[in-house]
Amino acid sequence: MPHKKNQKYRSWVEVDLDNFIANLKEIKRLIGAKADFMMTVKADAYGHGAIEISNIALKCGARMLGVANADEGVQLRISGIEAPVVILGPSTTAEIEQIIKYNLIPSVSDLSFAKKLNNALIKSHHKRPLHIEVDTGMGRGGAMHTEAVKLVLDLSGLSNIILEGIFSHFASSEKMVSHNSTQWKCFSDVLAEIESRGIYIPIRHINNSGAILNYPEYKLNMVRPGIMAYGIYPSPENESKAGLLPVMSFKTGIVLLKDFPAGHGIGYNSTFVTSRPTRIATIPVGYGDGYPFILSNQSTALIHGQRAPIVGRISMDMCTVDVTHISNCKIGDEVVLLGQQEKECVSANEIAAKAQTISYEILCALGKRAPRVFLQKGKHKTVEPRLKRIFVPEEERSLSRIDNIIRHCLLARARNEELGNAIYYEMFETLFGNRDRRLELRSGFRYDIRIAKMPKTKDVVLSKDYLHVGMHVQYKKTLRDNIFMIGCASSHSQLNALFKDPRCEYRWLLNDGGNLSGKRDFTVERVR
């Protein structure tokens, strides 16, 4: 994206969805048609934006999504994602309520947690699948491989738990070392023993990014790509095994240009002193934006397709770049801190090496205060403001906070402050009238669906070719008014009328264009 003087963002993260899609195609080529993949989107999809990345991955064939905790799963559910979401790490007892409410799939490492989950499921009249994690040598989450079979047997006796998956995790998959083979044998032995006991667990997975590249023979029937999907090789040794394209760039612009004589200090404690007349560009990015402090006097920025050194200490909100050798620098010029500009490139691995860390940490940290710009086919697909990323569903009772989030989202969508505000106020006046009436959130929905053979009637075709489906709906909601209405409609026009009636609490389309066939087609059993 060319940077202009009137660029609206101080800094921004670009996420190239075309490159992401290309990486997924490469992963699918590597694993073949017989294996599925779970897209790992924990840590906000490694800093790339979990919601957008998840939606694209699902369109490209991902069977499941992998997250680190229940909150990350809730974020996906709140955004409308209905695909299976697996919590890859051990969950806490406090997360059980969210796991059940938002239909998340926990991974289980011990019987104690599983029993608590099962008891909660019994009370809520639900059944939920889970994945069992086996520690084959990672020394972290999971049941020890020597105890895993017993855990599986114990779990199989819990009434409301479905044994859907079993998995392990390699400790050194980015390298070809003997420990990986040892882990694989431990996991294979566990799987064989479980099968010999007559227990079938349909989904089995161990291969992460490194193993997809180095150990394709271990893929089983599902793999969990993470870093490679975002265009980063787990190790330089893997680069010949797949064609991956980097997905993230981190960019900003020059906000100030100054000329200094020789012998002038730059930044806190003057850790850089000019040795000649020097032109310094100030950019509005610092460690508060996730650009590591350790890169002070070490890292490189790209300006006009040329490398320029970061000089002086990186501050919380700013850092300085020596641009003496770059002619025609202007305020507003694009600065690339991660990514490509013309023929030059600063990679996540390059930054990580200078910061004495790993590329994973760099991707997760960069752009903490920056909007994300998603690119597809060379154009802006969407912009995700930072405000959207800090919304916490449990704060849904804070009306002023929700109002503010809605207003800012409308401003971003309209790309015009005046128009966005007009839509916001018109919308709220339509919804609430001249006073702010709180829209209470409904909760505790329970659907019981029963399917039975049609009773015999004179209509032979109806009795033979159709099934009778009954649905019982139950939910909770605090009402603000003394009068409310629950209605059913036999046409879309009737349904639209019910939607427009402010008294209508719940409405149902039973038969489009036909008549109701019996008194039990729609009944309100009780309201209390």
Catalytic positions: 42, 268
Question: Is residue 111 exposed (0-12), middle (13-18) or buried (19+ Cβ within 10 Å)?
Answer: middle
Long-range contacts of 1-7 (CB under 8 A, 24+ apart): 1/251, 1/373, 1/375, 1/380, 2/334, 3/251, 3/253, 3/332, 3/333, 3/334, 3/335, 4/332, 5/330, 5/331, 5/332, 6/332, 7/253, 7/332, 7/334
3-state secondary structure of 511: coil
Structure tokens, 495: 């349904």
C-alpha closest to that of 238 among 359, 341, 67, 58: 359
Residue for token digits 């104690």?
A: 112
Distance CA 148, CA 171 (A): 18
Helical pair 50-59 and 17-31, crossing angle rounded to 10 deg: 50
Q: Kind of pairing, strands 443-453 and 467-476?
A: antiparallel
Question: How far out from the chain centre does Cα 459 lie?
Answer: 51
